[in-house]
Amino acid sequence: MGDTHHDPTDHARTHLPHMGESMKDNYLWPGLAFLAVGVLALVAGVAAAAYGHHEYLLMIAVVALFSVTAGTVLVIVENRRVRRIEARWLSKHPGRYSQRVA
């Protein structure tokens, strides 16, 4: 697979060139990790509320909110970076994927 985080788009495919991008793009992983921590914190918050440990709810809510927000921002920023790279590649190769809109 090699060093694909500089351009994770699969230009050899005619359909679904972004398939598997989340596994190839190393810069996307921190955002996905933050989202996973946020989901785990939401589950922990529900469990803490169910068991009556209300003293932990504020801390868990802050961690969940920060993690989900940071993860979402990182995923959006990385998606825009990949789209910018793809648009640059398409401008250098004008005959390829002429029917696609970047």
pLDDT tens-digit map of 38-94:
999 999 999 999 999 999 999 999 999 999 999 999 999 988 988 888 788 778 877
pTM surpassing 0.75?
Answer: no
Look at residues 47, 7, 1 and name the one whose alpha carbon lies nearest to residue 27: 7
Interatomic CA distance for residues 5 and 84, integer angstroms:
13
